[in-house]
Amino acid sequence: MTKIFTMDLGIDLNNQTKKKKKIKYKYFLYFIIFIMLIFIGIVAFVQLRYFNKIIFAKDLDDYNVALVFGAGLKKGGLPSDILADRLKTAIQLYQDGKVKTLILSGDNSSENHQEVAAMKQMALEFGLPENVLLEDDFGLDSFASCANVKNNFNLSKVILVTQKYHLRRALYLCNSLGLDAFGVPAIDRGYVFQKKYNLREILASLNSFLEINFGRD
Tens of pLDDT, residue by residue over 33-58, are 999 999 999 999 999 999 999 999 88
Distance between first and last Cα of the chain: 68
* Confidence at residue 8, expressed as pLDDT on a 0 to 100 scale: 57
Whether residue 160 is contained in a domain is answered as: yes
Regions in the chain scoring below 70 on pLDDT: 1-13, 217
What is the residue type of 2?
T
Whether residue 66 is contained in a domain is answered as: yes
Backbone Cα Rg of the chain: 25
pTM assigned to the model: 0.88
Give the list of residues 6+ apart from residue 42 with CB closer than 8 angstroms, or none.
205, 206, 209
Residue 177 CB coordination number (10 Å)? 16
> How many structural domains is the chain composed of?
1
Phi/psi of residue 72, nearest 5 degrees: 85, 170
Range of the domain at 139: 51-214
CB 169 within 8 A of CB 183: no
CB 216 within 8 A of CB 176: no
* Confidence at residue 138, expressed as pLDDT on a 0 to 100 scale: 94
Q: Any bridge partners for residue 101, and if so which?
A: 65
CATH number, domain containing residue 91: 3.40.50.620
Q: How many CA atoms, within 13 angstroms, populate the side-chain half-sphere of residue 180?
A: 8
Whether residue 18 is contained in a domain is answered as: no
What DSSP designation does 113 have? B
CB 145 within 8 A of CB 69: yes
Q: How far apart are CA 101 and CA 21, in angstroms?
A: 64
Whether residue 41 is contained in a domain is answered as: no
* Confidence at residue 201, expressed as pLDDT on a 0 to 100 scale: 97
Whether residue 177 is contained in a domain is answered as: yes
Whether residue 158 is contained in a domain is answered as: yes
* Confidence at residue 4, expressed as pLDDT on a 0 to 100 scale: 47
Whether residue 117 is contained in a domain is answered as: yes
Compute CA 114 distance to the chain's CA centroid, rounded to the nearest angstrom. 21
Q: How far apart are CA 194 and CA 197, in angstroms?
A: 5
Whether residue 20 is contained in a domain is answered as: no
